[in-house]
Chains A and B, each alone.
Chain A
Amino acid sequence: MSGTAPGDFASPHGPAPGADAPVTLAERVLLAPFTPRARREGLYCLVSVPLGIAGCWAVAWVLGPSLLVSASVLGTVVGLLGVVVALRLARRLGALYRWVAARMLGEQITAPPPFRRAAGSIIVRLDARLRDGAGWRAIGYTLLKLPLAVGQYLALAFWACGLADMSYPVWWPLFRSPSPGATLSAVSAATPPPFGSFVHATSWAGSLLVAIFGAALLLIAPWLTRGVVTADRWLARSLLSAGTLTQRVRDLEQARARVVDDSVALLRQVERDLHDGAQVRLAAMAMNLGMAKEKLGADGQPPDVRRARELVDAAHLGAKEALVELRELVRGIHPPVLEVGLAEALATLAAGSAIPVQVRAELPVRPTPAIETIAYFCAAELLANATKHSGANKVDISAEIIDCERTSLLRLLVCDDGTGGADPAGGSGLAGLERRVGTVDGRLSVSSPAGGPTQITIELPMKA
């Protein structure tokens, strides 16, 4: 979690590698403005100030009026919907802030799990949205970002004023060469807020004094920057991360319950399929063979050869059908081709499809079997959906490994050119897929405007 890169003079772990002697306090103070850390934190402030102010402004503008409206009797629903918008906005901003902190400060903050839509009535869904703890914490951060931005702005002012003041002796002789006998008005040194200017120069010698003042500002600036950035890091870690342990435990408990439910449901389905399918066929087959045996008699000339043949034919057909059913059932439990790899399995899936499917799979690293299995069944289900419901003429499936915030993800994209209108809330198989994907902290997003095309993105961690 530490944002301190090796080589920083201010490293809490001691002197910089390669330094022969311990760095003295004087050296630390004097060299502070020139460390990579000071540069990184200064640049971070430069980005953070406008982002922070804009984000706070946006969230406050959505949240404030929404809360006001929701307090009224008639506006409750509208107001609460506004609050939901603010929550979603804050989550997005939180992701942006995390990204900036990771890129500029090296601060890795684990993203909270994506919001899981609750199934049920609009009230239930709204309620779940309003209980989105990660969203509320993100709102907290975006609002607190305003005082942080002010602090960061001050730190930037120290840097800017310090640099400006240091330049006084350089340009003084160029622009302020005194003509004989003239009296020059005093020039104030650039002074960071909230201080008023209190250092003035009337001569080149005076400008040297301003430069010394500027140097002092530059010596203070890195420490001030470090202070506000540290506060920012701390807030971001507490408010933008995956959240408290309790929250995580609750999420995992829910996920575990879903996994257990799903596996029980799966076993029941397998039992049902066997009971109603292969078992019936085999029983009927045994019956036909039993009857055929009787028609053939114990020995000698069979009493009823024609009927016996008919029964053996029926049994033979039944055996073949039972084999087909068993094969499909076995493949439904775990397709053997998955052992070879997800790319092969997807290609096999595409080959068996009723509509043309183009598969593009670039998987230099194999995810764990559990992840491959989930990805495969998602692809199979989505392909079945596209075939059955969308009226698509072709489907594109792509699977690739992407890098996201220093971890790798398996991203599965299934696109069709059908009529669109797929909705996870519509009680379709999509909700089931979302549940399944959610059990391993993956996420599923759907873009399916009416009229098409439909694009479904599934992101899964490389291991469960």
Chain B
Amino acid sequence: MDTMRVVIAEDAALLREGLTRLLEERGHEVCAAVSDAGALLAAVAEHKPDVAVVDIRMPPTHTDEGLRAALRLRQDHSGTGVLVFSQYIETRYAARLLAGNAAGVGYLLKERVADVADFVAALTRVADGGTALDPEVVSQLFRASRHADGLATLTRRERDVLGLMAEGRSNAGISAALVISGGAVEKHVASIFGKLGLPPSEGDNRRVLAVLRYLGG
């Protein structure tokens, strides 16, 4: 996607303006930058953007109104990707966001914005209907997984590939991140699916779901 149309919901003005500028400098269109959940829902209904960046803690209660708004968006505006953006990671929030469908959803720590290119790539992936899970979510899933035995059978490189798959990256993304060839990635993926007994799945989204279900189960 060359030019994304984005709605930003973030109550800290500093970040709201910074993000707007960051995206605009890269040629994306920020349709609206708002500071609470109500305004977010209205802006998405009005602009039908490709993707919405949503802070979890916003006024008035500063708890999880951003998350609830994100779930509403997932339900009511399936054409709009939702990137939930937060200063801390709650695995349960991730589970609620994914809830059977990994298409067009992301959950990232705010600090990921420091690596601008990665951040924009993740946002683009979500806008295109893909998935972007924070490495922190994935490592928490690894730690909490009840399939420690299955995971122990993986080589170190295979674990890296599994983590990147769980983040929602495509084979091309994985090969770029690990600096290995596309063929090598395919070989690792096939090996991982074989060792963990996962059914081979078509498409990145179904693959993400399969991996997450395995890690979370």
Contact = CB atoms under 8 A, between A and B. Distances in A.
Contacts of A288: 18
Nearest to B113: A287
Interface string A281-302: 1111011111101100000000
Interface string B100-116: 00000000001101111
B110 A283 contact: yes
Interface stretch (A94-102, A272-280, A335-343, A396-404): A272-280
A284 B62 contact: no
B22 A291 contact: yes
Contacts of B114: 283, 286-287, 289-290
Contacts of A276: 12
B15 A287 contact: yes
Contact of B12 (A280, A286, A291, A293): A280
A291 B113 CA distance: 9
B18 to A, nearest CB: 5
B117 A272 contact: no
A272 B62 contact: yes
Contact of A286 (B57, B87, B113): B113
Nearest to A279: B87
Interface residues of B, number: 18
B14 interface: yes
B25 interface: yes
Contact of B19 (A272, A275, A287): A287
B217 to A, nearest CB: 32
In this complex, the member of A280, A281, A282 whose beta carbon has the largest number of chain B beta carbons within 10 angstroms is A280
A286 B15 CA distance: 11
A386 B62 CA distance: 31
Contacts of A290: 113-116, 119
B163 to A, nearest CB: 22
Contacts of A279: 87, 110
Contacts of B14: 280-281, 284, 318
Nearest to A281: B14
A328 B57 CA distance: 23
Contact of B22 (A272, A275, A287, A293): A287
Contacts of A287: 15, 18-19, 22, 113-114, 116
A290 B22 CA distance: 10
Nearest to A287: B113
Interface string A320-356: 0000000000000000000000000000000000000
Contacts of B12: 276, 280, 284
Contacts of A286: 111, 113-114
Nearest to A318: B14
A291 B87 contact: no
A268 to B, nearest CB: 10
A279 B109 CA distance: 12
A294 B62 contact: no
Nearest to A289: B114
A284 B116 contact: no
A282 B114 CA distance: 10
Nearest to B12: A280
Contacts of A294: 116-117
A291 B116 contact: yes
B108 to A, nearest CB: 11
B87 A283 contact: yes
Contacts of A284: 12, 14-15, 18
Contacts of A283: 15, 87, 110-111, 113-114
Contact of A280 (B15, B116, B119): B15
Interface in B77-95: 87
Interface string B34-78: 000000000000000000000001000010000000000000000
A355 B87 CA distance: 38
Nearest to A285: B114
B204 to A, nearest CB: 26
Nearest to B19: A287
Contacts of B62: 272
Contacts of B110: 279, 283
A119 to B, nearest CB: 23
B87 A275 contact: yes
Contacts of A282: 111
Interface centre among B15, B18, B113, B115, by most chain A C-beta atoms within 10 angstroms, is B18
A329 to B, nearest CB: 16
Contacts of B15: 280, 283-284, 287
Q: Which of A275, A283, A290 has the most CB of B within 10 A?
A: A283
Nearest to A280: B12
Contacts of B116: 287, 290-291, 293-294
Contacts of B115: 290
Nearest to B115: A290
A291 B111 contact: no
A284 B117 CA distance: 15
A281 B19 CA distance: 13
A283 B12 CA distance: 11
Contacts of B18: 284, 287-288
Contacts of B111: 282-283, 286
Given A280-B14, A284-B18, A286-B114, A275 B57 contact: yes
Interface string B1-38: 00000000000101100110010010000000000000
Contacts of A293: 116
Interface in A241-272: 272
Contacts of A272: 62
A29 B11 CA distance: 87
10 closest cross-chain pairs (CB), A and B: A286-B114, A290-B116, A280-B12, A287-B113, A284-B14, A290-B114, A283-B110, A284-B18, A287-B18, A279-B87
Interface of B: 12, 14-15, 18-19, 22, 25, 57, 62, 87, 110-111, 113-117, 119
Interface of A: 272, 275-276, 279-284, 286-291, 293-294, 318
7 contacts: A272-B62, A284-B14, A284-B15, A286-B111, A287-B114, A289-B114, A290-B113
Given A282-B111, A286-B113, 5 more contacts: A283-B15, A283-B110, A283-B111, A284-B14, A290-B113
